[in-house]
Amino acid sequence: MIRSAETSNTGDALDSELVARVQAGDKKAFDLLVLKYQHRIVQLVYRYIKDPVESQDVAQEAFIKAYRALPEFRGESAFFTWLYRIAINTAKNHLAMRNRRPGDDDDLDLDDAEQMATVGRLKNFETPERVLLSEELAEAILAAFDDLSEDLRTAISLRELDGMSYEKIAEVMQCPVGTVRSRIFRAREAIDQRLRPLLD
């Protein structure tokens, strides 16, 4: 399994396990990553696109790009941070390309098309069980987030939602970088513990 020091030290064992399974050829593991993060990525993209339908399409495109790039992912940052960057870049590229004619986009190969179909099914044809699991995941994440202390909640928000570096977070929170890492580790651990029973 590919795991960096940062990943193993910050409580992202669940994501690391799923990433390793995808890299080993288990496409269903990617479905779980999509299920876990799709709502957060759509919300992130919406900050840029400002259109609900377009935001879903761009978020789907971001997941496809992530799937294509996952073989090269080495865990040098947390998976969600990496996915977050891809989503932001995809949203910015979408805004820049709005005036391009249809058909100008790069072609997808067969594996990408298959994964696009999978992501599309998750978005458009969710089973009742999948909808329930998605709602339970969202509730568990929100509950875990609400239960965090203010310091932990602030640190994890700045890292995962705003994509700040540890150094920048340390400046914002006026504390040492080591303290930031500790707070983010503890926050991720708390959230992972809430999610693990739902994803097992």
* Domain range annotation of the chain: 1-125, 128-200
Q: What one-character DSSP code corresponds to residue 157?
A: I
Task: Give long-range contacts, CB 8 A cutoff, 24+ apart: 60-67.
Answer: 60/116, 60/119, 60/120, 60/123, 61/90, 61/94, 62/86, 62/87, 62/90, 62/91, 63/34, 63/38, 63/115, 63/119, 64/108, 64/112, 64/115, 64/116, 64/119, 65/90, 67/22, 67/30, 67/112, 67/115
Q: What is the pLDDT of residue 130?
A: 59
Alpha carbons within 13 angstroms on the beta-carbon side of residue 123 total 23
Q: What is the pLDDT of residue 145?
A: 77
* Global model pTM greater than 0.85: no
Q: What angle do CA 158, 2, 186 make, to 5 degrees?
A: 35
* Domain 128-200, classified CATH 3.30.390.50, yes or no: no
Along the 200 residues of the chain, how does pLDDT read in single tens digits? 333 344 334 336 788 888 998 999 888 888 888 888 888 888 888 888 888 888 888 999 999 999 999 999 988 888 888 998 898 889 889 988 875 433 344 444 444 444 444 455 445 445 566 556 666 677 777 778 778 888 888 888 778 777 788 898 888 888 999 999 999 889 888 887 877 776 65
Class of domain 1-125: mainly alpha
Q: What is the pLDDT of residue 172?
A: 81
Q: Do the two domains 1-125 and 128-200 of this chain adopt the same fold?
A: no
Pairwise CA distance, residues 88 & 43, whole Å: 11
